[in-house]
Structure 1
Amino acid sequence: MTKAMTPPQRMLAVLNRKKPDRVPVVPFIQAYAARVAGMPLDEFWSNGDRYFDANLMSMRLHGYEQSPLYGYAACGPWEFGGKIQMPKNNGDTAPAVINHPVRTLEDIDRLEVPDFKKKLPGAYAIADQTAERCVALGMPAGFQVGSVFSAAAQVAETTQFLTWVMSKPDAVHMLMEKVSDMFINALCYFADKYGAENCMPFQAGPMEVNGMISPAQFEKMVHPYNLKVNQKIRELGIQTVLMHPCGNQNLNIPYYVQMREACNWHGRYIWIFGPETPIANQMKAFGEKDIICGNVDTLAIVEKPYDEIVELCKSVIETGKSNPGGFILAPGCEFPADAAPIKVMAFMEAAEQFGRYQ
């Protein structure tokens, strides 16, 4: 009998364009891990060592292939001098903005880009704690470097920012230049400290959804800054990037393809689109070169029973398993923090039953 691979061996096989024994499972778990560890959410999010510990416990409990990856949707405001609030088990599951550093156009002029030289700004100090623990155990250093548009929409008061997209595009570009410079400084810091070969930056873009901005606006406001950050990733020699275009971004796929080509990218993107973007569409755009993640609907994870979740996982495995660039079973966004542990078990069961390559 062939000995089963370990989780690190499965991920390494997929990254190296080889077939593992079964489809890896990356359930995009964050706050759920705090529940598994019995850890208060404010403690989980405010200390990189505790964040790592809780995630490692969840990994060991369930046996999935995801390594700890610190980051949250409200990236940007704290780093530019605003304020966030850690969740207090009051319904919030991640840090939330309580003071945006940009509320007026004049605030954009005054905004200073963090340089990462003396003190790491905001959540990057916490992410660095987690990354150090990861690299010590042979896991990648994960840290957030986008999306620029979504981060800018948090640095500025969000409603005001979206108004400026239409009425003050020059101001929006000025703000996004500063946000992209911060992400580039983060890339340089982590690559220098841990080595480019040990880094896996990630980019998440919930504000770019097609219902929020048009493809034409994406081309003008989002694409240039995606390109700027990813060109720096290419220049530094980082080989793996986790990309999470959240929500319905079907009409934006051509620009992600253009970004990849313009960077002359030789590494691997790991794509986690929302469930609104069919796996077949992703495979057509990126499948020959990149890893596609199966995007099980997160709402279904909460609402549907175990057997139905296994079937949903089976469906995405059967579609994506043959992807030439590799396939990973995952939800379409963060695993629900309040989901029952058997919901993670459903992912693992589906991978074992239907995700075998040999």
Structure 2
Amino acid sequence: MNDDVAKLSQSMNGYRHVGSSGTSGTEKWMMLLFGAYNHKQQVRGRRSEFDETHSMLKSGRMREKIEQKMTKEVSEEGHAHHSRKDYVDPPPAPLLDLEELKLWSFYRALIAEFIATLLFLYVTVATVIGHNKLNAADQCDGVGILGIAWAFGGMIFILVYCTAGISGGHINPAVTFGLFLARKVSLIRALGYILAQCLGAICGVGLVKAFMKSFYNRLGGGANFVQPGFNNGTALGAEIIGTFVLVYTVFSATDPKRSARDSHVPVLAPLPIGFAVFMVHLATIPITGTGINPARSLGAAVIYNRQKIWDDQWIFWVGPFVGALAAAAYHQYILRAAAIKALGSFRSNPTN
């Protein structure tokens, strides 16, 4: 009300000023009356708004109106949020990226893959030889299949955790092949990784033979081959399924859609990958000794170098590569519907 009085006073002062500049008395009083009338109408309008608000407050309708407005705003905000992606798919890697050959980060990644695969084969094959040595003396001694599976799965967990930020932590040509098919890495990087992994595996098994030579040659060298009682078809199927489980887990654990919605997933990604390796070893050690990693099978075959091992070697390349192909196709083209999205004809979910 004080503000209204002040405004009226200012208006009257303005009218006095106009009158003093030569305006007739009649015109002056008409302007004054017109200003007073407008002010009265404004006061009536505000009084009406105040009465209406007061009435709504007393009846509870104001609270309902505010709640309705807030509900509408939240609904509109939620709709806007769900109408756009909350994650970003990285652009597909080029097929041939020769510029990578000029980058130190590319060669650093190759070194990381070489060292990681070397450590992986050293620890795991040494575990296998140690178990065979103890078990030969006492059937109840040694870590058993469970311990061997833990060695493979645990090392993958550790090494993926250590190298994921440098090379992606592949440590397996089948994983690299699957990611290449999904356009996650270029052909140049994929070939470089596979070469580094194979060389690292050979060096890792070579260290085991250097440290445990007499036992290594006598106890099978930790090499993969089709176990007695199983045929090549069974072994191939076991390798395909085992590698499918591993590569499918890799795709799921590193999916940008999941990483965007669960901030803890990137930190925990090595855990399900290592656990997948552990579970697959439990299932396939009795059949093939568990390959699911062509570099691991090649490294042991090169150092152990027996005819039976070389005769079965194709199973440990064809099986993992077919399993990786199936996992990449399943994740990219069925679960993520990449082909259908590319055609723009179907979206299974607004957030896809």
Q: Same fold (TM over 0.5)?
A: no
Higher helix share: 2
TM-score (normalizing by structure 2): 0.23
TM-score of the pair, normalised by structure 1: 0.23
Greater strand share, structure number: 1
Larger radius of gyration: 2
